Amino acid sequence: MTHPFHPFSGQRLLYIGERYNRSGRRLLLRIDDKSYCSVPPKWTDMSEPDPEVTIGRARALFTVADLMELALLVRRFSSHRHAEDASPM
């Protein structure tokens, strides 16, 4: 697990398989005899290096994809908040 904030960061987990959901491809990893986790491939060493990170030599804090995802999340929250403010009480 290579994601720095994942609870199993730095640990080697057994690859069981993969699945797809609305977020895309997910890897199924075995934690112990009874537990499994599902993570995006980019959180592991099983993904291709991101060319944006490679070219930038990991100097950028965020990738363009990260910033676009953040903008979408902020837009969703702000439109939800505006809808709550406009509703009659």
- Delimit the domains of the chain by residue range: 1-48, 49-89
* More confident call, 86 vs 38: 38
Q: What is the pTM of this model?
A: 0.54
Residue 69's φ and ψ, nearest 5 degrees, are -65, -40
Cβ-proximal residues to 53 (8 Å cutoff; 6+ apart), any chain: 60, 63
* More confident call, 85 vs 56: 56
Q: How far apart are CA 38 and CA 23, in angstroms?
A: 12
Count of Cβ atoms closer than 10 Å to residue 29 Cβ: 23
pLDDT at 70: 92
Q: What is the pLDDT of residues 14-66, one digit of tens each?
A: 999 999 999 899 999 999 999 999 999 988 988 777 777 778 777 777 788 88
